[in-house]
Structure 1
Amino acid sequence: MDRSNFEENTRITVTYKDRHGKLRPGNFYVYKLFDDFMIVRATDNDGLLRKMPYGDIVKLVKSKPADRASLFYVPDELLEEKMWQDRETMYHYSSAPGRGK
């Protein structure tokens, strides 16, 4: 897979290789695309922000644009490429009084 198979602000269902090389199913929200990797949030698991290389994705099962009411907001500074040079995951919790959190 490469960057042209994905779009920002979409929900995807994929088969990917974990760090041990095992194939896993996963549901993700795509935040930002870079040349070699993308920043995603696992929507069916722990909710961590992840750096996912395109080469780890074996199969794109489904892709659906996120509707405006369901967009996940993350500060732009956390989505810069330099923030992800030395890390694979990041925990980010946001709250909003209007959303009851």
Structure 2
Amino acid sequence: MEILYLEPCRGHGGGGAMMVARFSVKLTPYLQLHNLRLLETPNGPKVHFPAITGGGGKVATMDPSYARQIAESAMAAYHRRLTIADTDIDAA
């Protein structure tokens, strides 16, 4: 799994969640998900997925533990990006 793109942003996700970033992830060499939203919740990071559809227009599901792994990877990338931005501001 690789975070391809991450853009910090702010917004309310509802239910006490705060959207902190939009991102794209490469899950396999042939599968990428784009325009995902990273949410910071009281219960840890969560990912809001756009509609994931399979063959025949049926909605595909994802194993919750795998979704949690994606959320944790994206949150780590988000914190790294904030740290780099803070370092750049301090240097200026």
TM-score in same-fold range (> 0.5): no
Q: Which has the higher helix share?
A: 2
TM-score of the superposed pair, with normalisation by structure 1: 0.28
TM-score of the superposed pair, with normalisation by structure 2: 0.30
- Larger CA Rg, structure 1 vs 2: 2
